Structure 1
Amino acid sequence: MRRKVTPYNLTFEPILLKELCVDCGISQSRIGKELDLSRPLINLALNRNYLPRECSNFKPKVEAIIRNDKKAMKWLIERKLKVEDIWTTLGKELRNQTPAGTGAKTWNTRHQPVMVPGDPEKLIIKEEVEMLSQEVMKYFKIFRNPFIDDIQKDSDIFMSEEHRYIEAAMIDAARHGGFLAVIGEVGSGKSVMRRRVVEQLKRDGDVIVIFPQMIDKTRVNAASICDAIVMDLSEQRPAMRLEAKTRQVHRLLLERAKQGFRSALIIEEAHDLHTNTLKYLKRFYELEDGYRKLLGIILVGQTELKNLLDETRHIDMREVIRRIQTAEIKGLNGNTKDYLVLKFKRIGAKVEDIFEEDAFAAFSRRLTTMDRQNRTVSHAYPLIVNNYAVRAMNMAYELGMPKVTEGIVMKIESSESL
């Protein structure tokens, strides 16, 4: 007897639309609601290239949804794709993928900007470093780009009073079983500070640093944290079951504490952690030997982490939020000149030979915005200051100016807005 053909008998062949939805946070429920279709039918369309009979002009209507979604259109443009390409068949690696975030509330929280720019057209926000041409370096009589491969030792790191405070807070949390979140924008120096703290702890030799290596932090869970602790504290193989893993972790932490060592768990890209994982971290934090905490925890992440730790948005996270201390890395405003002095000094150049004094104040003005409470906010993070300085030097060369002036800094064109 021939088996009746149904949509569920169709071959599993996810289409490009599914990858787009996963990356851009477009849920199947949202598409179904806009088209007045059930979620299972949308699931069949994404995973088996099935066109629901219940909706005439299904493809044009879905394409209209995508065209009205700015994030989705940006996703397509970045990949040089057209809207019509969303029906292309993909491989099976997307079988269990869900949209980034965990539900609409978390998705919106993760992607809500913390600051509102005062004048976004005057900000250059680039994750990659701007380049100085050989002609520009020759023009200013420097032999190296001061912002490329610029940290070789501790003395190459600019540390303001605020940076030193956060560094001390991280070391204290590692040594005394604290629970700390270090938050900063892209390019604010979070990873540099983390490396500096880890090197300091290694030199002191009294703290064992546990550093989970999983690249995709959205997949970090209680079991993987247990595995990281076991592997970094011993040569043992992690147990298979979670209960056995937990007992193994507790036993190893007790053993290292009796040997005179403290243990510190440091997680980078912590803004990608699932809210359930943050709750599990509280359980790890509560592991004790009498009154003594066995594990210090330091989370390092972008400003989305600040939103995740906002009790007004995540009331179910209050038991974690009320126990965690936060330290936010601010911009360099007030220290911009000192920062650039250090960068040029390490390549044997004097900053005053390249920049006029009024240029430093101009950098601060260009990189200051207002937040929702009408308070001034500095965006003068190291990476952004580097980009501004390079672009200003390039413009000074093009204009034939001997130094970068206030006027040049104010005329820099933005390639990306905040």
Structure 2
Amino acid sequence: MIEVLGVKQAHIVKQIKERGHSFSKASLSRVTTQADWPKTCDKAAIEAAITDILQDAGANPEQLSELFTWYEPKPQNPEVDYEEPEPEMLTVAAKQFFKMRRDPFENEINSESDVFLVESHRVILEDMLSAASAGSMIALYGECGSGKTIIRRCFIHQIQQDHPDVILIQPARLDRRKITAESISTAICRALQIKHRPSAEERDAAIEDALIESSNNGHLHLMVIDEAHDLNADVIKLLKRIWELTHGFRRVMGIVLIGQSELRKKLSGQNVREFTWRCNQIQMQPLGVHVPAYLRHKFARVGLDADAIFTDDAISALRGKCHARVRQGIALDDTDLDRSYPLSINTWTAKVMNLAAQIGENKITEKLVHKV
């Protein structure tokens, strides 16, 4: 406002002093740039004096009405400048050209050795295991193709191999939107081998007794629900009530929900806030700097050396293909968004290898990557 009217700060400070108030030019500068008022000044009197001075300088009522409103630009709905690549598989010609025994990106997980894990993945696996031992709740969410399903399969494999004391409970409805209280009760009865009860009340009592008895026998219980973003609010609230079952000072069941990013939005709703307050939410991270190691692992599992196929610059360019630009709006800087998830890396790699096979290029370079 001061700049718009062409009034110098020194003039304002002088006019304030003439009105009998002490206010320095440095203080005025902090007020105009940071909305930082001196603790010892008479703020109301100074505001009134500045208003009078600017009114005399020609400020209109509309300008004066927002004179001391601190403006700070807020992010608008961010716009992500990124187009997901169309899924593409390696062609038969590409596999023959690069002498591949099998596709490194399609149905490639056949054993624990095929799974590529980084530190963030191991932390997630530990958190999921602690959900069983501590009886806590976890919600794991991430983008499509970020590796959630592989983490779930790896976790279940570890439980079956190394933790026979953990009883996994997994509702079996293929359509998660149709999971109900009945589905969850049926899953618990199936896991704990509880015989059918004629009434819901008898069944619920039998479930509670069976969970406590199983805990007394040294077992831990963990309910795992995949595609949890399709659960409705009533089921989520029911899960919280099941989680509240205790035996002494211990909870008898932990809960792990796994879903896409919509799961986070669903858990932010007011109608499930009691669940959310008690749930540890974990986001799947992109591969990031681990992209080179990921590709080397993938190709090593099919008997190939990735460094013999790709230059270092080409691998960096593949990672760059997965970077998005996020526009925050006016007066805010754009930010980068890393989307180097396994599915995206697999797709871009398949695209560039198919192109290389078409033109007969044995070594994939950065220049070739930028052509797809």
Whether TM exceeds 0.5 here: the answer is yes
Partner of 1:272: 230
TM-score where L is the length of structure 1: 0.66
- 2:339 equivalent to 1:384: no
Count of residues in correspondence between the two structures: 290
Identical-pair percentage? 34
C-alpha contact 2:233 2:271 (8 A) present in aligned 1: no
Residues 117/405 of structure 1: CA separation in 2 closer, same or farther (3 Å cut): farther
The superposition leaves residues 319-371 of structure 1 with CA deviations (integer Å, 9 ceiling, x where unpaired) of 11101101111211211111111111011100011111101111221101144
Cα drift, residue 205 of structure 1 = 0.6
Cα drift, residue 143 of structure 1 = 2.3
Deviates more, 1:258-267 or 1:216-225: 216-225
Cα drift, residue 376 of structure 1 = 2.7
Cα drift, residue 125 of structure 1 = 5.0
Distance in 2, matches of 1:183 and 1:242, equals 32
Partner of 1:396: 356
The superposition leaves residues 218-250 of structure 1 with CA deviations (integer Å, 9 ceiling, x where unpaired) of 11122211111011111522x343322221211
Q: 1:337 aligns with which of 292, 296, 300?
A: 292
One-letter amino acid matched to 2:145: G
Distance in 2, matches of 1:274 and 1:298, equals 16
- 2:279 equivalent to 1:324: yes
Q: 2:206 aligns with which of 240, 244, 248?
A: 248
- 2:318 equivalent to 1:363: yes
Distance in 2, matches of 1:162 and 1:259, equals 33
C-alpha contact 2:80 2:327 (8 A) present in aligned 1: no
Where do 5+ consecutive residues of structure 2 fail to align?
1-76, 329-333
Residues 115/354 of structure 1: CA separation in 2 closer, same or farther (3 Å cut): farther
TM-score where L is the length of structure 2: 0.74
Distance in 2, matches of 1:249 and 1:115, equals 47
Cα drift, residue 411 of structure 1 = 2.1
Match of 2:364, SS state, is coil
C-alpha contact 1:223 1:245 (8 A) present in aligned 2: no
Q: 1:220 aligns with which of 175, 179, 185?
A: 179
- 2:205 equivalent to 1:205: no
Taking the TM superposition and a 5 Å limit, the aligned residue runs for 1:8-157 are: 116-120=79-83, 123-126=84-87, 130-157=88-115
One-letter amino acid matched to 1:357: D
Distance in 2, matches of 1:190 and 1:240, equals 38
Larger-gyration structure (1/2): 2
Cα drift, residue 405 of structure 1 = 1.6
Distance in 1, matches of 2:317 and 2:270, equals 42
Distance in 2, matches of 1:177 and 1:372, equals 41
Partner of 1:35: none
Distance in 2, matches of 1:349 and 1:172, equals 37
Cα drift, residue 384 of structure 1 = 1.8
Cα drift, residue 302 of structure 1 = 0.6
Match of 1:208, SS state, is strand
Distance in 2, matches of 1:147 and 1:371, equals 29
C-alpha contact 1:125 1:384 (8 A) present in aligned 2: no
Partner of 2:368: 408
Cα drift, residue 202 of structure 1 = 1.6
Cα drift, residue 138 of structure 1 = 2.4
The superposition leaves residues 148-185 of structure 1 with CA deviations (integer Å, 9 ceiling, x where unpaired) of 22111111101011111111111111222110001111
Distance in 1, matches of 2:220 and 2:296, equals 38
Partner of 1:64: none
Distance in 1, matches of 2:78 and 2:104, equals 30
Taking the TM superposition and a 5 Å limit, the aligned residue runs for 1:280-319 are: 280-310=238-268, 314-319=269-274
Where do 5+ consecutive residues of structure 1 fail to align?
1-113, 413-418
One-letter amino acid matched to 2:219: F
Match of 1:363, SS state, is helix
Q: 1:259 aligns with which of 210, 217, 230?
A: 217
One-letter amino acid matched to 2:362: P
When the two chains are superposed, the root-mean-square deviation of aligned CA atoms in Å is 1.7
Partner of 1:170: 128
Distance in 2, matches of 1:115 and 1:252, equals 49
